[in-house]
Copies of this chain bind each other. A is one copy, B any other.
């Protein structure tokens, strides 16, 4: 702490590496989604928050950063899985613009379609591709709020030169959401 004000700090949970190790690379879109969903399931099973996971991989399929919902874990409302994965990727790459990172273009792979905040964050991050599992409707169906998005939603990113691929691993992502709902998971 360099001032009278607290630093903003979000740590990945100690179990992160254990989950990552079970998903050796290189990771294609489907394998990367498998890891994103495994991270989401780990959050859920430990009661640490909503069932959302994400990863950033480089053009060769090498894992750059894992991410998972850390809202309850860190006490920070912005710490959604996508934001965490992008931020860790930027810390590792040493730049706020992942378009200039080693191994670019980078891909953000997320277990569910990003909420309004995360969608707004994606163009600023410098990723070149986004891959999503569960659709917005799947997430809203179990009671989560995705926020107010621009009319074109996720597809609107393509106008900014960001490639969008949807429905990768969607069935498994929906199963995860259903398990969370069935367990009476907290909605916040």
Contacts and interface: CB of A to CB of B under 8 A. Distances in A.
A151 interface: yes
A170 interface: no
Interface stretch (A40-48, A77-85, A104-112): A77-85
A14 interface: yes
Contact of A120 (B3, B90, B117, B126): B117
A90 to B, nearest CB: 6
A30 interface: no
Nearest to A146: B120
Q: Which of A3, A71, A75, A120 has the most CB of B within 10 A?
A: A120
Given A116-B120, A120-B118, A121-B78, A5 B65 contact: yes
Contacts of A116: 116, 119-120, 150
Interface stretch (A94-102, A131-139, A177-185): A94-102
Contacts of A87: 8, 76, 78
A11 B7 contact: yes
